[in-house]
Amino acid sequence: MNITVVGTGYVGLVTGTCLAENGNNVICVDIDENKVNRMKNGEVPIYEPHLDVLFERNIEAGRLNFTTNLIQGLDHAEVIFLALPTPEDEDGSADLKYVLGVAQEIGQHITDYKVIVDKSTVPVGTAEKVEATIAANTSTEFDVVSNPEFLREGFAVDDFLKPERIVVGTSSQRAEEIMHRLYKPFVRSGNPIIFMDEKSAELTKYAANSFLATKITFMNEIANYCQIVGADVDKVRIGMGTDSRIGKRFLFPGIGYGGSCFPKDVKALHKSGQDVNHKFKILDAVVEVNEAQKTILFPQINNHFGGNLKGKTISIWGLAFKPETDDIREAPSLYMIEKLLEAGAKIKAFDPEAMENVKQKLGDKIQFVDNMYEATQNTDALLICTEWSIFRTPNFSKLKAQMNDAVIFDGRNLYDIDEMTEAGFKYTSIGRTA
Ligand code: UGA
């Protein structure tokens, strides 16, 4: 099929590349000329495992092309994906200016039937708005479909190529058939393509992300309570998670959820509720608990140093909001850094992928080093903010010998408490007491 993807951010790029990988002819459109030129030369503008291989292969095969020319993209395709940013407005709602701006241009230019697919996470009622915007500018036939993405950063290629489910919201038989033809090759395993109305599809995405954020937050509250009463949250987690109604996944406590999706989507669903006088009380609590969770280790670090962090060096392992990404949006590490700097601490940080992004944000406010052990050289304490695999099995004797004091604050519960005590570390984690 001929497909155009408008917007080459994270979602658009993965969507375009994976659709090309499945034999479709894809044009990706972006207004950023510099980025488009870099992509034409085979440069992947984001870090996402496996994307580079697919990217190169499909560009070489001529199935994946890039342009700044939206009209060229519109002429090319039967299906047009909108993968545009929907940034958080000041009031927490999703700003639709990019989506509706492109919808207007689509209306002004299409001359034959098109399926317009909302791929971005958009509030309930957006498909209707996109449809009205296009219709106001054309008499050509078209359908608008809501097809939320469920990609996880770090696993996006796999999630796209082998989805657990695909949700498609449309009330048009013609669009349903086209979407079915497009996605059938991705669900050969028997996983479902779930068709529904547009509004339900739009809400499915918000409900799924908000539920997962709630699940994590619930576990964080349990962890904080475990800490007080002397229970071990890891044991509670396993005890709970083996009930298949609860499930093992997304029960890992830590220093809060971050990223470009959960924080934004929880707030946007909350705001959409408010707009129709529906108060999502549970989401209020989720936002509040998560905000506090990001810096939950700060008082413990501060207490360890007797309330005086001035001149102390704290090393940080992990800056990205989660492993396998260079994304630092809403990363708990940034909140901890802010608190520590405010208190007068010096910070030495290492992350396998995200240092460049933090450098751009913080400049020389903190020191960046090339590897995990350089970070812990002559340091007063180590703080772990992201559970990258390389941090899971460090050489503890080397670590202990290097550090001024063998003190670890672990925001991701990477190590066994007894082993740490035996190795002579003062070890603090989330929801577990030594
Ligand atoms: C999330 C969803 O998982 C995807 O299904 C969805 O498509 C995506 O948002 C989106 O809306 O685009 P993502 O933000 O990439 O994906 O990352 P997750 O792996 O879901 O992690 C989100 C946050 O939750 C991270 O900060 C992570 O550290 C935290 N988390 C996750 C926990 O604290 N505990 C857990 O048990 C799981």
Helices 10-21 + 51-60 axis angle, to 10: 60
Q: Are the C-beta atoms of 184 and 156 separated by less than 8 Å?
A: no
Beta bridge partners of residue 25, listed in sequence order? 2
Residue in this structure with the two tokens 């870099």, named with its chain if needed: 38
Residue in this structure with the two tokens 């280790």, named with its chain if needed: 297
In this prediction, residue 321 carries a pLDDT of: 97
Q: Ligand 1, residues 86, 212, 386: which to mutate, most atoms within 8 A of Cβ?
A: 212
Active-site annotation holds for 261: yes
Second-level CATH architecture of 298-428: 3-Layer(aba) Sandwich (3.40)
- Residue 268 phi/psi, 5° resolution? -65, -40
Calculate the alpha carbon distances from 345 to 200, 294, 348, 386 in Å: 49, 18, 10, 20
In this prediction, residue 153 carries a pLDDT of: 87
User: For ligand 1, is residue 412 a contact (CB within 6 Å)?
Assistant: no
- SS3 call for 298: helix
Among 133-142, 147-156, 212-221, 345-354, where is mean pLDDT lowest? 147-156
Indicate which residue's Cα is closest to atom 19 of ligand 1: 152
Query: Beta strands 407-410 and 381-384: pairing type?
Result: parallel
Q: Are the C-beta atoms of 177 and 70 separated by less than 8 Å?
A: no
Q: Give pLDDT tens digits for 299-317.
A: 999 999 999 999 999 999 9
Q: Name the band, by pLDDT with cuts 50, 70 and 90, for residue 374.
A: very high
> What fold is seen in the domain 205-293?
N-(1-d-carboxylethyl)-l-norvaline Dehydrogenase; domain 2 (1.10.1040)
Residue 434: pLDDT over 80: no
Helices 198-229 + 281-293 axis angle, to 10: 50
User: What does the DSSP assignment read for 332-374?
Assistant: HHHHHHHHHHHTT-EEEEE-SS-HHHHHHHHGGGSEE-SSHHH
Closest CA to 142 of 183, 108, 107: 107
Q: Are the C-beta atoms of 372 and 350 separated by less than 8 Å?
A: yes
User: For ligand 1, is residue 325 a contact (CB within 6 Å)?
Assistant: no
**Helical segments of 173-314, H only:** 173-183, 198-229, 233-241, 262-275, 281-293, 298-304
- Residue 331 phi/psi, 5° resolution? -70, 130
Q: Say how many Å lie between the CA of residue 113 and the centre of ligand 1.
A: 36
User: For ligand 1, is residue 251 a contact (CB within 6 Å)?
Assistant: yes
Beta bridge partners of residue 346, listed in sequence order? 313
Q: Are the C-beta atoms of 232 and 253 separated by less than 8 Å?
A: no
In this prediction, residue 336 carries a pLDDT of: 98
**Considering the chain, what is the average pLDDT of its residues?**
96
pLDDT-above-70 percentage for the chain: 100
Q: Give pLDDT tens digits for 12-27.
A: 999 999 999 999 999 9
329 is in an annotated binding site: yes
Calculate the alpha carbon distances from 146 to 223, 273, 345, 347, 408 in Å: 37, 20, 48, 45, 46
Indicate which residue's Cα is closest to atom 5 of ligand 1: 150
In this prediction, residue 93 carries a pLDDT of: 79
Gap between the Cα atoms of 379 and 112, Å rounded: 65
40 is in an annotated binding site: no
In this prediction, residue 89 carries a pLDDT of: 81
Q: Name the band, by pLDDT with cuts 50, 70 and 90, for residue 47.
A: confident
Residue 72: pLDDT over 90: yes
Helices 262-275 + 198-229 axis angle, to 10: 120
Q: Give pLDDT tens digits for 402-416.
A: 999 999 999 999 999
In this prediction, residue 375 carries a pLDDT of: 97
In this prediction, residue 240 carries a pLDDT of: 97
Residue 160 is encoded by which pair of tokens?
A: 């796209």
Backbone dihedral region for residue 211 (phi beyond 0: left; psi -120 to 50: alpha; all else: beta): alpha
In this prediction, residue 90 carries a pLDDT of: 82
pTM higher than 0.90? yes
Which residue type occupies 328?
I
Indicate which residue's Cα is closest to atom 30 of ligand 1: 257
Q: Ligand 1, residues 257, 267, 287, 289: which to mutate, most atoms within 8 A of Cβ?
A: 257
Q: Name the band, by pLDDT with cuts 50, 70 and 90, for residue 88.
A: confident
Gap between the Cα atoms of 365 and 346, Å rounded: 9
Gap between the Cα atoms of 51 and 75, Å rounded: 27
User: For ligand 1, is residue 149 a contact (CB within 6 Å)?
Assistant: yes
Domain limits of the chain? Answer: 2-196, 205-293, 298-428
| Intrachain domains 2-196 and 205-293 with the same fold | no
In this prediction, residue 40 carries a pLDDT of: 94
Q: Are the C-beta atoms of 270 and 278 separated by less than 8 Å?
A: no
User: What does the DSSP assignment read for 45-72?
Assistant: SS--TTHHHHHHHHHHTT-EEEES-HHH
Gap between the Cα atoms of 23 and 15, Å rounded: 13
User: For ligand 1, is residue 335 a contact (CB within 6 Å)?
Assistant: no
Gap between the Cα atoms of 14 and 407, Å rounded: 41
Average pLDDT value for residue range 259-266: 93
- Class assignment of domain 2-196? alpha beta
Q: Say how many Å lie between the CA of residue 152 and the centre of ligand 1.
A: 6
In this prediction, residue 433 carries a pLDDT of: 87
Residue 320: pLDDT over 80: yes
Residue 92: pLDDT over 80: no
